[in-house]
Every structure is written in C-alpha cells, then in structure tokens.
Amino acid sequence: MIEFKSVKKIYTGGIMNTCALDDVSFSIDEKEFVSFVGHSGAGKSTILKMIYAEEKPSSGEVLFNGEDITHIKPKGMPLHRRRIGTVFQDYKLLQKKTVFENVAFALEVSGYPNSEIRKSVPQILEIVGLSNKAENYPHEISGGEKQRVAIARALVHRPALIIADEPTGNLDPISAWGIIQLLMKINKLGTTVVLATHDKEVVNNIKRRVITLDQGRIIRDHSKGRYAI
Ligand SMILES: Nc1ncnc2c1ncn2[C@@H]1O[C@H](COP(=O)(O)OP(=O)(O)O)[C@@H](O)[C@H]1O
Ligand SMILES: [Mg+2]
C-alpha cells in the first residue's frame, strides 16, 4: 500500500539546512499496524506528512497503491487525502460543537446529505465507544474521550489508512492504552494503521511491527518489535 524508495528530505531555510530523512526505504502492506518510533527529531512526523502528501521528498519516491504521490496534481489531492484519516496529539476539535456535531461537520463539509449524516455519525460514535457523550461539548469530556472524537472524525470517510502522530502524547498511561486498543480494533476491522510515537510503554505493548528511526535513518525494522533505543 505504501512504499518509500530511498527517500531523502532536506528542510531548507533557517540558519542551517536539516536532513530529516536519509535514504529511507520501507513498504507497508494493506491491513498492517506499523509503529514508527524514535527520539524527538528522528523524522517520524516527516514520514507521516509525506504519506499525506503534505511534504515532498528532496529525492526518492513515495508510492501509494503503486501511484507516485510526490507528483500528485492539486486536482488529485482531495481524493488522495480522503483515503487517509489523520489523528494528532492535540485532537483539533471544534470547541463550540458537540461530540456529534464535531463528527458530523467532517461529513457536512464534504457535502453529504443530512439523512446520511444522521445515520453514519451514531454508527461511528458506537465504534469509538462514545454513544453516551454525543451531546457533550469538548470541555465536558476527558482527554482520552477527546482523542476518541478525533478518531471518530478520522473514520467518517471510511479511510483505507489511519495515520496517527503521537496520539497518546497528552494522555495518562491508562487513557493512552485505551486509544491504542481502539486503533488496534479499527485495524482488525480492516484499516491500515501507521502510528508515530516516542511512548515506549505503548510500543512494547502493541507487539506489532516497529520501525525505529534515528536521526533520519531506519536503524531497525522488526515484526513484533520493541522500543529499543
Ligand atoms: N518544516 C520544517 N522546517 C525545518 N525543519 C524541520 C521542519 N519540520 C521538521 N524539521 C526538522 O526535521 C527533523 C525531523 O523532524 P520530525 O519529522 O518532526 O521528527 P519527529 O516527528 O521524529 O520528532 C528535525 O530536526 C526537525 O527539526
Ligand atoms: Mg513528530
């Protein structure tokens, strides 16, 4: 599904250029659950941004379903991004909308009819375990629940892939593990999951493929990996 071929990324500007990725190659199959780990600055977010076609490699290729997405035309971008659900550390919820409305809004902006929205949103809230919080506002729910709303929103287009960048970064260990279990459940339902995290505890409990980055290079790629730096 995803293939990086000798990807190099140099961020220019600032006082010095930064080599964020250096000769990075890997491939991820459909329905895999893959964690990218490494210290802050190792290049994890840069990889996720390239999958989302938000950053381009300085050299090398990034393929999605065999298609080179580094040369994707602006016209093709919405279609590409609709295949991917995104989850971030800081939830990015709309504070003046309820849980239901936050999820519904993602469908409204894509022009879905109300009837479809009324049917779809409760189904998705059920999957993330938030049916009982549908009418609450973000300030009335916990951090873990906020991240569940963000995951629900990421699911509205039934994406083939979820990319989650430090989704547990603001959570206590118990809520964090709940979020990881939810991502594992979504993966079991057939969605590919790519996670970036520096949370050792989380990674060691997932027991799925772990790709370790150090200063922009892949130093380890193990199925059933552990966090080992
Ligand atoms: N937009 C940017 N401009 C310049 N440097 C950047 C930019 N984004 C990231 N970097 C640098 O690239 C390196 C990798 O960053 P990043 O991919 O965010 O790492 P991680 O997510 O593992 O913390 C870091 O040295 C970071 O400072
Ligand atoms: Mg990052």
pLDDT confidence band for 110 (50 / 70 / 90): confident
Q: Who has greater pLDDT, 96 or 202?
A: 96
pLDDT confidence band for 87 (50 / 70 / 90): very high
Residue whose C-alpha is closest to residue 87's, from 57, 48, 133: 48
pLDDT confidence band for 58 (50 / 70 / 90): very high
Ligand 1 atom with minimal separation from the 49 CA:
17
37 lines ligand 1 (CB under 6 A): no
Helix (H, G, I), strand (E, B) or coil at 21: strand
105 lines ligand 1 (CB under 6 A): no
pLDDT confidence band for 175 (50 / 70 / 90): very high
Residue 224 in tokens? 């059933």
pLDDT confidence band for 199 (50 / 70 / 90): confident
Cβ atoms of 38 and 44 closer than 8 Å: yes
CA of 118 to the centre of ligand 2 (A): 35
Strands 209-214 and 84-88: unpaired
Instruction: Tell me the average pLDDT across 214-226.
Output: 90
58 lines ligand 1 (CB under 6 A): no
Cβ atoms of 102 and 93 closer than 8 Å: yes
167 lines ligand 1 (CB under 6 A): no
Residue whose C-alpha is closest to residue 145's, from 170, 177, 179, 174: 179
38 lines ligand 1 (CB under 6 A): yes
Counting ligands in written order, which one lies closest to the CA of residue 19? 1
Backbone conformation region of residue 31, classed left if phi is above 0, alpha if psi is from -120 to 50, else beta: left
Ligand 1 atom with minimal separation from the 39 CA:
22
CA angle 60, 65, 67 (to 5 degrees): 50
pLDDT confidence band for 186 (50 / 70 / 90): very high
Instruction: Tell me the average pLDDT across 108-128.
Output: 94
In Å, how far from its chain's centre is CA 187? 12
Per-residue model confidence (pLDDT) at position 53:
95
Domain boundaries, the chain: 32-58+78-222
Per-residue model confidence (pLDDT) at position 1:
97
Task: Indicate whether 139 pLDDT > 80.
Answer: yes
pTM above 0.75, yes or no: yes
115 lines ligand 1 (CB under 6 A): no
Pairwise CA distance, residues 206 & 201, whole Å: 9
CATH code for the domain defined by 32-58+78-222: 3.40.50.300
Pairwise CA distance, residues 121 & 99, whole Å: 10
Per-residue model confidence (pLDDT) at position 204:
86
